[in-house]
Structure formats: C-alpha cells, structure tokens
Amino acid sequence: MLYFIGMNDFFSSINIIIFIPVLLFSVGIHEAMHGFAAHWLGDSTAQEQGRLTLNPLKHLDLYTSIILPLVLVLSHLPPFFVAKPVPFNPSRVKYDEFGVAIIGVTGPLTNISLAIIAAILLKLPVILGSGTMVQILLTVVIVNVSLAVFNMIPFPPLDGSRLLYAFAPEPLQRLMASLESSGFMIIIIFMVIFISSGLGEIIVRIDNSVIRLLLG
C-alpha cells in the first residue's frame, strides 16, 4: 500500500526518534486490519501467507518501504513509501465488491480510530503532566490522520479506490481494474500526478483541519 506523510502545520513538532516507531506501528496496524477484515469476510489468504499480524516488519519491503523514500528525500521530493499490500482473494470475500470496499476502508478507519483515541488521551491531566507522552500521542494523531486522509484518495491502489469501485458504473470499474493491474507503474503515474497537480497541498490542508478538530 502507498503512503505519504505531508509536511503539515504540526509536522515540525514531531521528534524523529518518536516518529519512526509510531509510523511503523500505525502502518502495521493499518495493514493488519485489512487482513483481519478479509478474514472476517471469509478469506483466509492473509493468514495462510503469514500476514495476519501486527508486526510492521512483515508489511515492509526493502526497496519500496526504505530505499524509495530515502531516494525521494535526497531528491527533495515528497517522501512516499510503499508497504507490501496484505493479500486477499476477492472471489472468497462475502458481499462481492462491497466486501472488498469494507476491506479497503478498514485501514483508514483504523488510523482515524487511533488518532481519536490519542486525542482523547491527550486531554487527560495525567498525560498533560508528561512531556514525553504528549509528544508520543501528538505524533500518533498527526501520523494516523495523514495516513487515513491520503489513503482515502479514490485512485488505485489506494484504499479509497476500493470504496469508489463498489459504487462506480461498470465502465469506470473496468478502467480502475485496468489501472490497478499495471502494478508498480500505476504508483509511479500516481506520484507524478500527485506532485504536479498540487493535490499534495489539498491533502495537507485537509490533514491540518482534521488534526485541529481532534486536538480542539
């Protein structure tokens, strides 16, 4: 799955030592929940391939999760990275494309849930007395809002495309299926569109609005 953390208004407050484990934790839960949702809907593919786990290392790839973002950062480009998508077999999932849509939105909904829980904890007096816990929970809010908003873009292979596919007319479904079958090439195309169209700025503005709403 493709990920992007925009440099929003709150990003400068993040401690990189805290950011990395929070990011890995959040991505691990995001991907694992896709697998749990598919398993709940009748497909055991993720379990059979050892991907039904919260261990983030099981969901990362050396080239697309580590080398790719490093190259982009060194090239002064937005830092995308790609985690290994949790496999599932649509033909074994209940409710056809609507079941697939449920699997797709489970990841972003999990991220939003984590952000909401962290935001609630941030308001507790016992937490406010600990600078380290405030940093950790603030980072959880920022990272998970960013992951949720970005992944709901309705463009393959992002999770939002699963939801759009379930309600799209057949010609659009065929187009989306064709795009997703292009593999890594569609990710490159999306990155070019994302960078050149100013979509990143829109996503960052949405991130900022949601984060401000959660933090009050």
- Closest C-alpha among 137, 162, 141, 166 to residue 152: 162
**Contact by Cβ (8 Å): 114, 140:** yes
Catalytic residue chosen out of the listed positions 31, 97, 180, 201: 31
Q: Where are the domains of the chain?
A: 2-215
Q: What is the model's pLDDT at position 127?
A: 78
Cβ-proximal residues to 31 (8 Å cutoff; 6+ apart), any chain: 1, 51, 56, 59, 83, 84, 85, 86, 107
Q: What is the model's pLDDT at position 197?
A: 80
Checking if the pLDDT of 212 tops 80, the result is: yes
- Residue 64 is given by DSSP the state I
**Contact by Cβ (8 Å): 59, 86:** yes
Mean pLDDT (whole number) for 122-131: 80
- Note if 201 is an active site residue: no
**Contact by Cβ (8 Å): 85, 59:** no
* CA–CA distance, 46 with 49 (Å, rounded to integer): 5
Cβ-proximal residues to 204 (8 Å cutoff; 6+ apart), any chain: 6, 7, 8
- Closest C-alpha among 112, 196, 97, 99 to residue 150: 112
Checking if the pLDDT of 12 tops 80, the result is: no
Tell me the DSSP string of 82-117: EPPPPP--GGGSTTHHHHHHHHHHHHHHHHHHHHHH
pTM score:
0.88
pLDDT tens sequence across 32-88: 999 999 999 999 998 898 888 888 888 887 777 777 777 766 776 666 777 888 888
Q: 2 in the Ramachandran plot: left (φ > 0), alpha (ψ -120 to 50) or beta? A: beta
Distance between start and end Cα atoms, the chain: 31
Please report which confidence band the pLDDT of residue 30 belongs to, taking 50, 70 and 90 as the band edges: very high
Q: What is the model's pLDDT at position 189?
A: 81
pLDDT tens sequence across 91-125: 899 998 999 999 999 999 999 999 999 999 998 88
Token reading at 59: 């969901």
Token reading at 7: 């440099």
- Closest C-alpha among 118, 113, 155, 112 to residue 134: 118
Instruction: Give the SS3 label for residue 3.
Output: strand
